[in-house]
């Protein structure tokens, strides 16, 4: 199997080591600009974050230009030491943290609180009506990352697996019979606006989703027409089954270049193994039709019991190599204590 080797993490220079020993008396935050790209990439551990399949290099300039996104950079001693990407969701009721990176030498140290407080002060200057309620996604093995969160509430768990293959050989496998053990009933088709009526039914929200949340490439938000339209405009593919009166599955797919090559994310909201397989097969076919060469598929499942079935399906039926990078994540909401203390 042709599996790439993850680049080694970058070593800190003497300036960073000295910075880690000082009190960061000159720490300040400001809105990011396009000119910050190189400094942010140098600091943000992009070769190891998300196992090297980091979206920040591909989406940095998009975040700078997007009026709905607030991306701040923290500076101290003339160096970029932090970057924080957020945006409001659900009608402005919550602030979603997409990514918060801190220079490696400043992590797990006493001034993490200082960094968080200065970041919050700047964010409030930019948007005085910033919501108190926050939400994000954290690695289940790193709960200390949300130690300061108050009134924390876990929403749901998410299982992530990585698979890899070369588009030409995978397409050949997809064209053979028997990839799906039997045609799924109902079928899986591209989303159209008329499908929203079936997705909006209470049965779908209660049986398939958790608190009506959808997850798209590490983003989380409420299921709504406006949010689905936003993801379509960003170039994502959305699939839904044809069940009536309520749908039984929904998935999202999209692609970008990471430090380890092209990644295609497949985010499946489904409780049925056969339907989940049908969604994944169609997304893999879309990716291999659009892109040549090696593609890594990041498959995100909302139903843990399907994990072993989907792993077997991707390897044995689709001919993909499973990368030993499985993770479990928790989505959560909380109240930011720093805002109430300012």
Strand, coil or helix: 191? coil
Q: Tokens 């996604």 correspond to what residue?
A: 137
Give the DSSP H/E element, type plus range, for residue 201: none
pLDDT (tens digit, 9 = 90+) per residue, 124-145?
898 888 887 888 888 877 665 5
pLDDT along the chain (342 residues), means of 10: 39 48 76 97 93 96 94 93 92 89 79 82 88 84 60 79 97 88 84 97 95 93 94 97 97 98 98 95 97 98 95 96 94 66 38
pLDDT (tens digit, 9 = 90+) per residue, 262-297?
999 999 999 999 999 999 999 999 999 999 999 999
Can you read off the two tokens belonging to residue 195? 């499908």
pLDDT given for residue 57 in this prediction: 97
pLDDT given for residue 44 in this prediction: 94
Contact assessment for residue 278 and residue 188, using Cβ atoms and an 8 Å cutoff: yes
- Rg of the chain over all Cα atoms, to the nearest angstrom: 21
pLDDT given for residue 134 in this prediction: 85
Give the DSSP H/E element, type plus range, for residue 198: helix 196-199
Cα 18 to Cα 65: distance, rounded to the nearest angstrom: 34
Contact assessment for residue 330 and residue 146, using Cβ atoms and an 8 Å cutoff: no
Longest Cα–Cα distance in the chain: 65
Cα 24 to Cα 106: distance, rounded to the nearest angstrom: 10
Strand, coil or helix: 302? coil
Beta bridge partners of residue 210, listed in sequence order: 213
Strands in the chain per DSSP E: 28-31, 69-76, 79-89, 94-102, 133-139, 150-166, 188-190, 213-216, 219-222, 237-241, 249-258, 261-270, 294-301, 321-335
Task: Give the number of other CB atoms < 10 A from CB of residue 42.
Answer: 14
Strand, coil or helix: 79? strand
Cα 84 to Cα 71: distance, rounded to the nearest angstrom: 6
pLDDT given for residue 8 in this prediction: 36
pTM tops 0.85: yes
Beta bridge partners of residue 266, listed in sequence order: 253, 299
């Amino acid at each position: 199997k042709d599996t790439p080797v993850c680049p080694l993490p970058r070593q800190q220079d003497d300036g960073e080591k000295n910075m880690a020993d000082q009190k960061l008396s000159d720490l300040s935050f400001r809105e990011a600009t396009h000119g910050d790209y190189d400094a942010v990439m140098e600091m943000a551990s992009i070769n190891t974050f998300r196992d090297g399949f980091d979206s920040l290099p591909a989406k940095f300039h998009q975040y700078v230009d997007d009026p709905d996104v607030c991306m701040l950079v923290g500076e101290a001693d003339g160096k970029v030491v932090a970057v924080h990407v957020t945006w409001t969701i659900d009608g402005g009721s919550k602030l979603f943290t997409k990514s918060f990176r801190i220079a490696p030498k400043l992590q797990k140290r006493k001034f993490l609180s200082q960094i968080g407080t200065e970041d919050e002060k700047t964010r409030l200057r930019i948007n005085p009506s910033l919501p108190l309620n926050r939400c994000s996604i954290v690695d289940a093995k790193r709960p200390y990352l949300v130690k300061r969160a108050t009134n924390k509430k876990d929403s749901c768990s998410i299982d992530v697996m990585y698979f890899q293959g070369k588009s030409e050989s995978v397409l050949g496998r997809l064209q053979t019979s028997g990839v799906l053990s039997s045609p799924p009933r109902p079928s899986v088709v591209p989303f159209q606006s008329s499908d929203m009526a079936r997705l909006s039914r209470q049965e779908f929200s209660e049986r398939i989703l958790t608190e009506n949340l959808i997850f798209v490439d590490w983003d989380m938000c409420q299921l709504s027409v406006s949010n689905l339209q936003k993801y379509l405009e960003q170039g994502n593919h959305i699939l839904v089954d044809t069940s009536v009166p309520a749908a039984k599955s929904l998935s999202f797919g999209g692609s970008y270049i990471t430090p380890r090559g092209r990644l295609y994310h497949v985010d499946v909201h489904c409780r049925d193994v056969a339907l989940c397989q049908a969604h994944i097969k169609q997304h893999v076919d879309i990716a291999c039709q659009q892109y040549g060469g090696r593609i890594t598929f990041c498959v995100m499942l909302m139903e843990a019991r399907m994990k072993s079935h989907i792993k077997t399906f991707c390897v044995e039926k689709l001919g993909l190599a499973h990368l030993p990078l499985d993770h479990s994540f928790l989505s959560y909401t909380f109240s930011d204590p720093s805002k109430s203390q300012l």
